[in-house]
Amino acid sequence: MITLTHYLVLSVILFSIGLVGVMRRKNLLMLFFSTEILLNSVNIGFVAVSHYYGDLSGQLFAFFIIAVAASEIAVGLGLLVLWYKKTGSINLDSLQMMKG
Amino acid sequence: MDYILSLIIFFPLVAGILGFLVSQNSIRIYGISVAFIEFMLTIILWIGFNGNTDGFQFVEHVTVISHFGMNYHLGVDGISLFLVILSTFMTMIALIGLNIKKDVKNLIISVLLLEMTMVGVFLSLDVILFYLFWEFSLIPMLYIIGAWGSDKRIYAAIKFFLYTFAGSILMLVGILYMGYLYHATAGVWSFSIPDWQLLILPFNTQLWLFGAFFLAFAIKVPMFPFHTWLPYAHGQAPTIGSVILASVLLKMGTYGMVRFLLPLFPDATIYFVIPIAIIAVIMVIYAAMIAYAQEDMKQVIAYSSISHMGIIILGIFAINAEGVTGSIFFMISHGIVSGALFMLVGCIYDRRHTKKISEFGGLAISMPTFATIYGVMLMASVGLPLTIGFVGEFLSLIGFYKVSWILTLLAGTGIILGAIYMLSLYKRSFFGEITNEKNRNLKDLNGRELAALIPLVVLVLVLGIYPKPLLEPIDFSVKKMIVLMEKKAVTQEAKEFIVKVNSIEGGL
Amino acid sequence: MFEVIAFYIFSILTIIMFGIVVFSKNSLYAMSALAGGMIFISGFFFLLGAEFLGVVQIVVYSGAVMALYAFGMMFFDTTRDVKENIHYKKILYSLSIISAVLIVIIMSAPIYSANIESLYPSAIEGVGNTQIIGLVLFTKYLIPFELAAVMLLVSMISGILLVSKRMDMNLTEKDHYEEKGEII
Amino acid sequence: MLEPISIDFAALNITTLLPMIITIVGALVIICIDLMTKELSRSFYTVLTMLFILLSLGTVFGFNGYSRGFFDVVLVDGIALIAQIIILVTSFLFIPLALGKRRFQEFAMAEFYALFLFMIAGFQFMVSSDNFILIFIGLETASLSLYTMIAMHNRAKAHEAAIKYFAMGALAAGFYVMSALIFYALTGSIEIHQIAQTLQARSFEPLVAILAGTVFMIGALGFKLSMVPFHTWTPDVYEGSSSALAGYMSIVPKIAGFVVAIRLFEMLIDSGVVWLENILYICVVLTMTFGNIVALVQEDVKRMLAFSSIAHAGFVLSAVLIGTTEANAGLFLYWILFMFANLGAFTMLWATRHRKNLWDNRYQHPFTKFSGMIKIMPAYAVVMGIFMFALAGMPPFSVFWGKLYLMSTAVNNGFVILAIIMALNSAIAIYYYMKLVVYMFLKEPISTDKDAYSSNISIALKVIIGFSVVITTISIVMIEPLLEIILNYITLSGF
Amino acid sequence: MEQYLYIALFAPLVGSLVAALFAQSSKNIFTGIFTSTLIFISFVSSIILLYYVNANTIVNVEMMDWISAGNLSISFGFVVDQVSVIMMVTVTLVSTVVHVYSIGYMEHDESFNRFFSYLSAFVFSMMILVMSDNFLGLFIGWEGVGLCSWLLIGFWYKKTSASWAANEAFIMNRIADLGMLMGIFLIYWNIGSLQYDIVFASIVNLDIKIVSWIGIFLFIGAMGKSAQFPLHTWLADAMEGPTPVSALIHAATMVTAGVYLIVRAGEIYTLIPNVGMFIASLGAFVAVFAASMALVNRDLKRIIAYSTLSQLGYMFVAAGLGAYWIALFHLMTHAFFKSLLFLGAGNVMHAMNNELDIKKMGGLYKAMRPTAILMGIASVALAGIYPLAGFFSKDKILEVAFNDGSYILWAALFVGAGLTAFYSFRLIMLVFFGDKVHEKFGIVPHEAKPFVIYALTPLALLAIVAGFFEHSFYEFTTQLLADYKFTLDHSVVINLIFATSAIALSGIIFAVYKYIRGGFSEKIENWRIYKLLLNQYYIPKLYEVCIIKPFATLSRFAWLNIDNKIVDASVDMIAKTICSSGEKAREMQSGNLSSMLRWMVVGIIVLLVLAIFYRPMV
pLDDT tens readout for residues D307-343: 999 999 999 999 998 888 889 999 999 999 999 999 9
Note whether C135 contacts D144, CB cutoff 8 Å.
Answer: no
CA distance C21 to A25: 10
End-to-end CA distance of chain D: 43
- For chain D, give the percent of residues with pLDDT over 90: 44
> pLDDT value at position D304?
92
Query: What predicted TM-score, i.e. pTM, was given to this entire model?
Result: 0.91
- For chain E, give the percent of residues with pLDDT over 90: 17
Grade residue E475 by pLDDT with cuts at 50, 70 and 90: confident
| DSSP β-bridge partners for residue D233 | none
Q: Among D191, D456, D225, which residue's Cα sits nearest to residue D346?
A: D456
Segment E168-190 shows an average pLDDT of: 90
CA distance D417 to E287: 70
Segment B292-319 shows an average pLDDT of: 91
Q: Among E481, E497, E500, which residue's Cα sits nearest to residue E489?
A: E497
- From residue E471, how far is each of A29, E467, E477 by CA, in Å? 123, 9, 10
What are the φ and ψ backbone dihedral angles of D187, each rounded to 5 degrees? -125, -10
Mind listing the pLDDT tens digit for each residue in E594-611?
Answer: 888 988 988 998 898 888
Would you tell me which residues 80-99 of chain A have a C-beta closer than 8 angstroms to some C-beta of chain D?
80, 82-83, 86-87, 95, 97-99
Q: Which residues contact D399 (CB under 8 A, 6 or more apart)?
A: D312, D334, D337, D338, D341, D390, D391, D392, D393
Domain-located, residue D268:
no
* The total number of residues written for chain E in this structure: 618
Segment E211-220 shows an average pLDDT of: 92
Asked whether residue E558 carries a pLDDT value surpassing 50, the answer given is yes
Mind listing the pLDDT tens digit for each residue in D442-460?
Answer: 888 887 777 777 778 888 8
> pLDDT value at position E589?
85
Averaged pLDDT of chain D: 88
> pLDDT value at position D148?
92
Nearest CA in chain D to E611: D211
Nearest CA in chain B to D483: B67
Q: What is the distance in angstroms between the Cα of E551 and the nearest Cα belonging to chain B? A: 8
Nearest CA in chain E to C103: E608
Asked whether residue D283 carries a pLDDT value surpassing 50, the answer given is yes
Pick D71's closest partner by Cβ from C103, C109, C139.
C139
- Mutating which of A36, A56, A61, A68 best tests the C interface, going by the most C Cβ atoms within 10 A? A56
Radius of gyration of chain E (CA): 31
Q: What is the distance in angstroms between the Cα of E605 and the nearest Cα belonging to chain C? A: 6
Asked whether residue B440 carries a pLDDT value surpassing 90, the answer given is no
Grade residue B122 by pLDDT with cuts at 50, 70 and 90: very high
- For chain B, give the percent of residues with pLDDT over 90: 50
Q: What is the distance in angstroms between the Cα of A13 and the nearest Cα belonging to chain E? A: 15
> pLDDT value at position B113?
93
Note whether D140 contacts A68, CB cutoff 8 Å.
Answer: yes
DSSP D3: P
Segment B274-282 shows an average pLDDT of: 93
Query: E72-86: string of b/e by CB count within 10 Å (b at 16+)?
Result: bebbbbbbbbbbbbb
Query: Please, what sign has the CA dihedral across residues D202, D206, D210, D216?
Result: negative
Pick A92's closest partner by Cβ from E586, E589, E593.
E593
Q: What is the distance in angstroms between the Cα of A62 and the nearest Cα belonging to chain E? A: 23
Would you tell me which residues 63-122 of chain D have a C-beta closer than 8 angstroms to some C-beta of chain A?
none
Task: Write out the DSSP string of A38-65.
Answer: HHHHHHHHHHHHHHHHTBSHHHHHHHHH
**Chain E within 8 Å of B124 (Cβ-Cβ)?**
no
CA distance C25 to C28: 9
CA distance A76 to A90: 12
Taking CB atoms and an 8 Å cutoff, what residues of chain E touch D164?
593, 596
**Chain A within 8 Å of D140 (Cβ-Cβ)?**
yes
Are B249 and B306 in contact by the 8 Å Cβ rule? The answer is: no
> Within a 13 Å sphere around the CA of B268, how many CA atoms are in the beta-carbon half?
22
For helices E300-320 and E273-296, angle between their N-to-C axes, nearest 10 degrees: 160
Grade residue C184 by pLDDT with cuts at 50, 70 and 90: very low
Mind listing the pLDDT tens digit for each residue in E51-65?
Answer: 888 887 888 888 888
> pLDDT value at position D1?
54
How many CB pairs (< 8 A) connect B and E? 174
Neighbours of chain B (3+ CB pairs under 8 A): D, E
Question: Cis (ω within 30 of 0) for the bond into D206?
Answer: yes
Pick C72's closest partner by Cβ from A29, A43, A53.
A29
Taking CB atoms and an 8 Å cutoff, what residues of chain E touch C95?
598, 601-602, 605
Query: Please, what sign has the CA dihedral across residues C172, C177, C178, C179?
Result: positive
CA distance E49 to E131: 12
The count of structural domains within chain D is 1
Note whether A35 contacts D159, CB cutoff 8 Å.
Answer: no
Segment among A78-82, B131-135, B258-262, D4-8 with least mean pLDDT: D4-8
Q: How many CB atoms lie within 10 A of CB E356?
A: 18
How many CB pairs (< 8 A) connect C and D? 135
How many CB pairs (< 8 A) connect D and E? 86
> pLDDT value at position C176?
42
Segment B159-178 shows an average pLDDT of: 89
Pick E607's closest partner by Cβ from D171, D279, D295.
D279
Mind listing the pLDDT tens digit for each residue in E374-410?
Answer: 888 898 888 888 888 888 888 888 888 888 888 888 8
Range of the domain at D494: 294-305+312-353+366-495
**Chain A within 8 Å of D167 (Cβ-Cβ)?**
yes
Segment B328-356 shows an average pLDDT of: 91
Domain-located, residue D332:
yes
Would you tell me which residues 11-30 of chain A have a C-beta closer than 8 angstroms to some C-beta of chain D?
11-12, 15, 18-19, 22, 28
Interface of chain E against chain C, CB under 8 Å? 594-595, 598, 601-602, 604-605, 608-609, 611-612
Q: How many CB atoms lie within 10 A of CB B194?
A: 16
Note whether A50 contacts C107, CB cutoff 8 Å.
Answer: no
CA distance D429 to D470: 23
Asked whether residue C175 carries a pLDDT value surpassing 50, the answer given is no
**Chain C within 8 Å of A97 (Cβ-Cβ)?**
no
Rounded-to-5 percentages of helix, strand, coil across chain C: 70, 0, 30
Would you tell me which residues 341-370 of chain B have a C-beta closer than 8 angstroms to some C-beta of chain E?
362, 364-365, 368-369
Grade residue C182 by pLDDT with cuts at 50, 70 and 90: very low
Segment E295-310 shows an average pLDDT of: 88
Asked whether residue D377 carries a pLDDT value surpassing 90, the answer given is no
Mind listing the pLDDT tens digit for each residue in B14-40?
Answer: 999 999 899 888 899 999 999 999 999
Pick C96's closest partner by Cβ from A19, A51, A55.
A19
Question: Cis (ω within 30 of 0) for the bond into B275?
Answer: no
Would you tell me which residues 367-396 of chain D have a C-beta closer than 8 angstroms to some C-beta of chain B?
374-375, 378, 389, 394-396
Would you tell me which residues 294-313 of chain B have a C-beta closer than 8 angstroms to some C-beta of chain E?
294
Taking CB atoms and an 8 Å cutoff, what residues of chain C touch E604?
99
Are D113 and D49 in contact by the 8 Å Cβ rule? The answer is: yes
Asked whether residue E280 carries a pLDDT value surpassing 70, the answer given is yes
Note whether E611 contacts D212, CB cutoff 8 Å.
Answer: yes
Say which residue, B151 or B88, is predicted with more confidence.
B88
Q: What is the distance in angstroms between the Cα of E576 and the nearest Cα belonging to chain D? A: 11
Nearest CA in chain A to E597: A23
Q: D35: burial class by Cβ within 10 Å (0-12, 13-18, 19+)?
A: exposed
Taking CB atoms and an 8 Å cutoff, what residues of chain D touch A100?
235, 298, 303
CA distance E244 to C127: 129
Neighbours of chain A (3+ CB pairs under 8 A): C, D, E
Averaged pLDDT of chain C: 79
Are E320 and E277 in contact by the 8 Å Cβ rule? The answer is: yes
Q: How many CB atoms lie within 10 A of CB D110?
A: 22
Q: What is the distance in angstroms between the Cα of E567 and the nearest Cα belonging to chain D? A: 20
CA distance D413 to D323: 9
**Chain A within 8 Å of D209 (Cβ-Cβ)?**
no
- Mutating which of C65, C111, C142 best tests the D interface, going by the most D Cβ atoms within 10 A? C111
Asked whether residue C177 carries a pLDDT value surpassing 50, the answer given is no
Nearest CA in chain D to B179: D408
Question: What structural domains does chain A harbor?
Answer: 4-89 (1.10.287.3510)
Say which residue, C12 or C72, is predicted with more confidence.
C12
Mind listing the pLDDT tens digit for each residue in D86-104?
Answer: 999 999 999 998 888 877 8
> pLDDT value at position B409?
92
> pLDDT value at position E24?
80
E strand or H helix that includes residue E101: helix E82-105
**Chain A within 8 Å of D174 (Cβ-Cβ)?**
yes
E strand or H helix that includes residue B159: helix B153-186
**Chain B within 8 Å of D419 (Cβ-Cβ)?**
yes
Q: Is D493 helix (H, G, I), strand (E, B) or coil?
A: helix
> pLDDT value at position A83?
87
Asked whether residue E373 carries a pLDDT value surpassing 70, the answer given is yes
> pLDDT value at position E618?
59
Asked whether residue D171 carries a pLDDT value surpassing 80, the answer given is yes
Q: Which residues contact B294 (CB under 8 A, 6 or more apart)?
A: B300, B303, B357, B421, E559
Q: What is the distance in angstroms between the Cα of A26 and the nearest Cα belonging to chain E? A: 7
